[in-house]
Amino acid sequence: MTIATFMLYMLNHPQVLQKAREEMDAVVGTERMPDWDDEERLPYFVACIKETMRHRPLVPLGIPHATMEDDFYKGYHIPKGCMVIGNIWAMHRDSERFYNPTAFIPERFYEEGKPTRWGTGPISQERDHYSFGWGRRFCQGSHIAEASLFITLSRLLWGLDFSAPLDPKTQRPILPDIANEEATWSEGFVSIPNPYKVRFAPRSAKHAELICDEFEAVQAEWRRMRLDVDER
């Protein structure tokens, strides 16, 4: 779901996509795919992922919590058993923490010359976004989620050109407006893009060859483990 959101944001911000791709090409080149060792050398790309999660959190109101006993916070009495909602959407648009919070600006998470910092961990004051929650109920799988996002999106960005399809009549891109809540985003507890179309193509013959080689290697490993392979 975050992958679909990331792709939609890149389509809507081609200058960001171009900058991330230039970084990817400089670090990885065309002789191999991105791997885990590249993560710290791709800080702008990682910043794009983080800014996507900040600007469009998957669960805008977070996971509901409940108090185990009476509590007081800044003069407010919170009774035992009271449901507490952490409004991640509002937190991510706090102008005291994020300058120009409604704008999509990956640079807010990017410091040139410094290594990547994902910012995972339950301590709220040390986090730079709250998509994975906070405190004792912080998502224990956040490191797996971030690693999965990195390896999947880095290889998509490295190997494929992607663009919005063209309207056959006007020849203009059919591109969902990310600011249009009703038309572009689902309603409910989880907010994801409504289905949209994307055109994918290998960036070059060399990229296509490496993608096919990697696919065959994965299929061979699948067979070795006696798992079903993709025969399509």
Contact 218, 212 (CB under 8 A): no
Buried b (16+ CB within 10 A) or exposed e, 133-169: bbeeebeeebeebbeebbbebbbbbbbbeeebeeeee
- Go through the chain and tell me how many residues it has: 232
- Cα–Cα distance for residue pair 212/210, rounded to 1 Å: 5
CB atoms within 10 A of CB 41: 15
Computed over its alpha carbons, how large is the radius of gyration of the chain? Answer: 20
Task: Say if residue 212 carries a ligand binding annotation.
Answer: no
List, as residue ranges, the binding site for heme: 139
Task: Give binding residues as ranges.
Answer: 139
